Amino acid sequence: MSLYTPDTRQHALLQSESTEFDLLIIGGGVTGAGIALDAASRGMQVLLLEKNDFAYGTSSRSTKLIHGGLRYLKQLDIGLVREVGRERATVHQLAPHLVRSEKMLLPLVQGGSFGKLSTSLGLWVYDQVAGVRGADKRRMLSAQEALKQEPLLDANTILGAGLYAEYRTDDARLTIELLKAAARHGAQCFNYLEVTDFLYRANRRVAGVKAFDHHSGNPIQFTAKYTVSAAGPWVDQLREKNKSRQGKTLFLSKGVHLVVAREHLPLQQAAYFDVPDGRMIFAIPRNRCTYIGTTDTPYQGNPDQVRSNEADRNYLLKAVNATFPEVHLTAEHVESSWAGLRPLIHEPGKSASEMSRKDEIFESPSGLISIAGGKLTGYRKMAERIVDMVADKFRKASNQTFDVCHTAHIPLTDQPFANAAEVQTYEHQLTEILKNWQLPAFYAPYLCGNYGRHSPDILANIPQESENPEEALILAELEYCLQQEAVLRPLDFINRRSGMLYFNMPALLRVQDPLLETFRARFNWSDSEFHSAKTAVEHAIQQAQIAATAPSEG
Ligand code: FAD
């Protein structure tokens, strides 16, 4: 089975409406998607409902690292460092094209918060705890070596650097691949289905949900033996509906990222550097861009309306300009930005950046299981804990048993690569093929990272003699996503399947009209449907560009 297509969605919904599922999952972020794959691969009948598009929440707005959480070492959260550190290697193996090794440079500067000895020791401990092996082990660099590794660092203040291993991914793509893998194991996953309330049995236990289909405009109900909420920043809203928002609650912390064209911040090397307030910032090259983040500020507003502002932008630009004094980034250089919310578990008396990133499970008296907190990196382990818990309930209630977790051995694509070397060879082949159309070179790592061995399915739809090969490629990519990746609205593709909204804004501005026309034809839109979709796209572009257009400091 695969994810639904626009043509099969209604039929799949009707079937789901008349099924009592073993497990119903609310939320199509990485946590919900991970649970769906784990449960379905153990033999449970699974339904997943997402109110907006898959990965609409935090899972498309992170720093996009599968990382060992070096900062948690600073907080002495050894258990978390161990778990996420070891998970990195597993997730990399499951999708080496999508989760790629990225060496991170930690500069040591005069007046900075890291000393040479303490950093060397810290990174060594990190390697031990996180189980880091071989070439991934940390290396300490002299000032000269650090400057060679990254010439944009300040030669006047650099004392040396630590070089250690991280993994870079695309959070939304990771979520989509998990959902596709879950669907291959029989899970039914729907976007644009918002859970509005719960259904209860006579004994007041949760029996399923009432939902609203934003695609058709119809209400619908689903039943299941167990219900899990993996609604990220919205977990407390659902606990509220379930009348179980007691005890520990969520604390939302906003994190902003900026994207600039690579030529404006031409880093050779990803870097993780400290800023005067004691926090750490990443600057990460990615295809034609470099992105910078993140901030960490308390957020009390509506989780659906989180956005970056002038203060966020100025904070990040100042941090970059202080570390790389030759780049002189200004607001005009910012092509795009995004803001996301960390659903942290509230700890009285602690600041946002001090609060633990551990996940937490709540179970309400009516049986609603909620999971929040945690990391993209730890999605598999979070899923395992939840599904173990549900399997245990089945065993106790009806003696029904399910397999143990085996997601560490389920590749996240149906045509997997064996390792990073295979990915590299494949990427070279794509580079050669793309020369046929004289497309910019970054499209090879882009296609390979996003679609892996399915890239030829996309390329096959580009005419050999295309007048506008870039537009033809993007439209071919859209066609693939409409068929394979449950795309219903332009932003599903622009933002969460292709990442164009963040990492290829100039191309998006060029192809926006033909993209919208493709949707109009595909979904037979009326003029008013077309105009509202166009307005939504324009609004998203304006929001992404807000960091560039907000007035400058002073
Ligand atoms: P979400 O992705 O928010 O998913 C919850 C989903 O539930 C949403 O899509 C939402 O629409 C849906 N939903 C809500 N209410 C309903 C309803 N009523 N009905 C149906 N659906 C509903 N982690 C890392 O490992 N590496 C990083 O580099 C990293 N960087 C980060 C940077 C920032 C700025 C932030 C904010 C977080 C970062 N994280 C990182 C953490 C990581 O992104 C999150 O832990 C993870 O994405 C949370 O996923 P989730 O599925 O729990 O929540």
Does 225 contact ligand 1 (Cβ within 6 A)?
no
Band the pLDDT of 482: cuts 50, 70, 90.
Answer: very high
Distances (CA, A) of 45 to 25, 189, 350: 11, 11, 41
* pLDDT at position 553: 42
Residue 265 clears pLDDT 70, i.e. is over it: yes
Distance 331 CA to ligand 1 centre (A): 28
Nearest-angstrom CA–CA distance, 93 and 256? 29
* pLDDT at position 354: 67
Pairing verdict, β 100-109 and 270-274? parallel
What is the mean predicted confidence (pLDDT) over 239-261? 94
What is the mean predicted confidence (pLDDT) over 406-434? 96
Distances (CA, A) of 362 to 205, 228, 352, 373: 15, 10, 21, 11
Report the nearest-CA residue for atom 33 of ligand 1.
62
Nearest-angstrom CA–CA distance, 120 and 410? 36
Distance 171 CA to ligand 1 centre (A): 9
Residue 554 clears pLDDT 60, i.e. is over it: no
Q: For the segment 270-316, what is each residue's pLDDT rounded down to a tens digit? A: 999 998 788 899 999 999 999 999 999 999 999 999 999 999 999 99
Nearest by Cα to 318 from 289, 283, 351: 283
Q: For the segment 318-373, what is each residue's pLDDT rounded down to a tens digit? A: 999 999 999 999 999 999 999 999 999 887 777 766 677 788 999 999 999 999 98
Backbone angles phi, psi at 230, to 5 degrees: -120, 55
Q: For the segment 96-127, what is each residue's pLDDT rounded down to a tens digit? A: 999 999 999 999 999 887 788 888 888 888 88
Distance 26 CA to ligand 1 centre (A): 12
How many C-beta atoms surround the C-beta of residue 402 within 10 A? 18
Report the nearest-CA residue for atom 14 of ligand 1.
231
Buried b (16+ CB within 10 A) or exposed e, 96-123: bbbbbebbbbbbbbeebebeeeebbebb
Nearest-angstrom CA–CA distance, 369 and 62? 24
* Residue 235: both structure tokens together: 């977990």
> SS3 for 197-210, per residue?
EEEECCCCCEEEEE
Does 85 contact ligand 1 (Cβ within 6 A)?
no
User: Coil, strand or helix: which one is 272?
Assistant: strand
* Residue 508: both structure tokens together: 């998006």
Distance 92 CA to ligand 1 centre (A): 20
Higher-pLDDT residue of 270, 131: 270
What radius of gyration, in Å, describes the C-alpha atoms of the chain?
Answer: 23
Say which residues have a Cβ less than 8 Å from residue 232's Cβ, sequence separation at least 6.
27, 29, 31, 57, 58, 59, 341, 343, 372
Range of weakest confidence among 259-263, 355-359, 399-403? 355-359
Does 63 contact ligand 1 (Cβ within 6 A)?
yes
Residue 464 clears pLDDT 90, i.e. is over it: no
Band the pLDDT of 550: cuts 50, 70, 90.
Answer: low
| Block residue for tokens 């509202």 | 532
User: Coil, strand or helix: which one is 232?
Assistant: helix
Indicate the top mutation candidate among 56, 59, 169, 239 to test ligand 1's pocket, ranked by most ligand atoms within 8 A of CB: 59
Does 235 contact ligand 1 (Cβ within 6 A)?
no
Indicate the top mutation candidate among 30, 48, 54, 58 to test ligand 1's pocket, ranked by most ligand atoms within 8 A of CB: 58
Band the pLDDT of 205: cuts 50, 70, 90.
Answer: very high
Report the nearest-CA residue for atom 53 of ligand 1.
232
Distance 373 CA to ligand 1 centre (A): 9
Does 458 contact ligand 1 (Cβ within 6 A)?
no
* pLDDT at position 114: 78
Beta bridge partners of 272: 282
Q: For the segment 171-189, what is each residue's pLDDT rounded down to a tens digit? A: 999 999 999 999 999 999 9
* Residue 211: both structure tokens together: 């939902």
* pLDDT at position 352: 67
DSSP string, 83-125: HHHHHHHHHHHH-TTTSEEEEEEEEEETTSS--HHHHHHHHHH
Buried b (16+ CB within 10 A) or exposed e, 361-381: ebebebbbbbbbbbbbbbbbb
Distance 408 CA to ligand 1 centre (A): 21
* Backbone region of residue 341 per phi and psi (left: phi > 0; alpha: psi in -120 to 50; beta: other values): beta
Indicate the top mutation candidate among 376, 386, 496 to test ligand 1's pocket, ranked by most ligand atoms within 8 A of CB: 376
